């Protein structure tokens, strides 16, 4: 992805979405939560910290999360070695309409091109997904991973990483369950076992001569249940603060993961927790790497407010929707510019 692309109009954000690049001093920041339990820190305290972070921010960072830091370091290394290759090499594992996994450098968020290149792989290889976004279509297709030859340890490292992150995802899902007052931490696990659609993405954001005109990823909400993100020390992720709508940078903390609530947890919690908008700004100097793990349930999951959460005073705010179809519609814009804004959970909101 060359610097000359800076002047390609497809990257240019509408004026109202261009980033302010001057330093913003956040009055308060995304909370950091220690996941370890000790004599001085009970599970109840941890669950209560998770509840406040989910309600107030929809985003938090976690430390003492159990993922070995040497494994993350190896992931960052193979990501860099892969992206540092020439475009011809990377395009050998290019994603296309037939295979959604692999390398690509042309994603659109809200119809503007993102200033990044990515490599995607599934946590469960050979995952079933709906063949089309059409609501009536019932046929499925199989998504498979494709792996580059270089670096040779790429595949093994990615597979090992995905397994570790899945464990962290279950841990966080359990804590979120408890924080919503559900009696059993494993209540939501069944939606993910066997056929989960979870995937890991390696992102590289190249430096850009006009960072004021573009975004690494345009503002968006994540469609899954949770996202668990590793970012390097460069910074660039910004979160829309719920209290005032300001874009607040998420400070890089070494050895921490950033966790955010996705659309599914918003619906499950009947809006107690919200999936918050975020975006990535780029800079003139440094390339940035990040690695999100998107925790997605099985394609056939029907998403609706949890029975344990709704009652007469808090009636369901959404009608149910099929996650696989939601995901398929959301991803259409990756290949073809869409004339309309892509699907959002608000389309399933029930009238009050």
Ligand X SMILES: O=C(O)CCC(=O)C(=O)O
Strands 237-240 vs 278-280: parallel, antiparallel or unpaired: antiparallel
Q: Determine if 65 is a binding residue for ligand X (CB under 6 A).
A: no
Q: Are strands 257-261 and 226-231 parallel, antiparallel or unpaired?
A: antiparallel
**How many Å apart are CA 302 and CA 191, to the nearest integer?**
9
Between 30 and 229, name the residue whose CB sits nearer to ligand X.
Answer: 229
| CA gap 227, 169 in Å, rounded | 8
Binding of Fe ion at residue 120 (CB under 5 A)? no
Q: Is the peptide bond before 167 cis (omega within 30 degrees of 0)?
A: no
Nearer to ligand X by Cβ, of 120 and 166: the residue is: 120
Among the listed residues 222, 232, 263, 277, the single contact to ligand X using CB under 6 A: 222
Query: Shortest gap between Cβ of 307 and ligand X (angstroms)?
Result: 30
In eight-state DSSP terms, residue 126 is S
Q: Least separation, in Å, of the C-beta of 183 and Fe ion?
A: 31
User: Smallest distance, Å, CB 149 to ligand X?
Assistant: 25
264 binds ligand X (CB under 6 A): no
Tokens 């954001």 belong to residue: 205
281 binds ligand X (CB under 6 A): no
Asked if 180 touches ligand X (CB under 6 A), the answer is no
Q: Does 215 bind ligand X (CB under 6 A)?
A: no
Which residue matches tokens 């599914």?
264
Kindly tell me which of 11 and 51 has the beta carbon lying closer to ligand X: 11
Among Fe ion, ligand X, none, what does residue 199 contact (CB within 5–8 Å per kind)? none
Closest separation in Å from C-beta 203 to ligand X: 5
Q: Does 19 bind ligand X (CB under 6 A)?
A: no
Q: Which long-range contacts (CB under 8 A, 24 or more apart) does 20-25 make?
A: 20/247, 21/211, 21/212, 21/281, 24/246, 24/247, 24/248, 24/249
Q: Which of residues 192-251 bind Fe ion (CB under 5 A)?
A: 222
120 is an interface residue for ligand X by CB under 6 A: no
Q: What is the DSSP letter of 97?
A: S
Are 200 and 158 within 8 A, CB to CB?
Answer: yes
Structure tokens at 190: 């069944």
**290: partner contacted, choices ligand X, Fe ion, none (Cβ within 5-8 A by kind):** ligand X
Q: How many residues bind Fe ion (CB under 5 A)?
A: 1
CA distance 286 to 86: 19
Residue 238 touches which of Fe ion, ligand X, none (Cβ within 5-8 Å per kind): none
Total residues contacting ligand X (rule CB under 6 A)?
A: 11
What angle do helix axes 43-56 and 154-179 make, rounded to 10 degrees? 90
Residue 231 touches which of Fe ion, ligand X, none (Cβ within 5-8 Å per kind): ligand X
User: What Å distances lie between residue 314 and 24, 37, 191, 305, 346, CA to CA?
Assistant: 38, 33, 24, 10, 17
3-state secondary structure of 199: strand
Single out the segment in contact with ligand X by CB under 6 A; choices: 22-30, 176-184, 229-237, 322-330.
Answer: 229-237
Work out whether 78 is an interface residue with ligand X (CB under 6 A).
Answer: no
Contact residues: ligand X, CB under 6 A:
201, 203, 217, 222, 229, 231, 237, 278, 280, 290, 292
In the complex, which residues of this chain contact Fe ion (CB under 5 A)?
222
């Amino acid at each position: 992805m060359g610097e000359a692309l800076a002047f390609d109009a497809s990257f240019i954000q509408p004026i109202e979405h261009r980033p302010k690049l001057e330093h913003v001093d956040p009055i308060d920041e995304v909370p950091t939560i220690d996941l370890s339990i000790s004599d001085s820190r009970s599970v109840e305290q941890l669950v209560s910290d998770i509840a406040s972070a989910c309600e107030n921010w929809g985003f938090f960072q976690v430390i003492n999360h159990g993922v070995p830091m040497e494994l993350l370091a190896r992931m960052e290394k193979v990501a860099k070695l892969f992206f540092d290759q020439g475009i011809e090499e990377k395009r050998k594992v290019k994603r296309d309409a037939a295979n959604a996994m692999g390398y690509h450098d042309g994603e659109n968020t809200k119809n503007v091109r993102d200033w990044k290149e990515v490599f995607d792989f599934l946590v469960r290889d050979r995952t079933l997904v709906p063949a089309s976004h059409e609501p009536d279509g019932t046929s499925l297709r199989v998504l498979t991973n494709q792996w580059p030859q270089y670096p040779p340890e790429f595949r093994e490292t990615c597979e090992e990483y995905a397994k570790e992150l899945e464990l962290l995802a279950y841990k966080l899902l359990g804590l979120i369950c408890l924080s919503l007052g559900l009696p059993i931490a494993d209540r939501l696990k069944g939606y993910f076992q066997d056929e989960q659609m979870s995937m890991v993405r390696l992102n590289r954001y190249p430096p850009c001569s006009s960072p004021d005109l573009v975004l690494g990823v345009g503002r968006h909400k994540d469609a899954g249940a949770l996202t668990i993100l590793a970012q390097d020390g460069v910074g660039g992720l910004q979160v829309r603060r719920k209290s005032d709508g300001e874009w607040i940078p998420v400070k890089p903390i070494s050895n921490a993961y950033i966790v955010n609530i996705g659309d599914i947890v918003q619906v499950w919690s009947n809006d107690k927790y919200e999936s918050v908008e975020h975006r990535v700004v780029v800079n003139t100097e440094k390339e940035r790497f990040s690695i999100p793990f998107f925790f997605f349930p099985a394609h056939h999951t029907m998403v609706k407010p949890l029975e344990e959460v709704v009652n007469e005073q808090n009636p369901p705010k959404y009608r149910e929707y099929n996650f696989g179809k939601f995901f398929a519609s959301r991803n259409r814009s990756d290949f073809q510019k869409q004339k309309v804004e892509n699907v959002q959970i608000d389309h399933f909101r029930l009238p009050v």
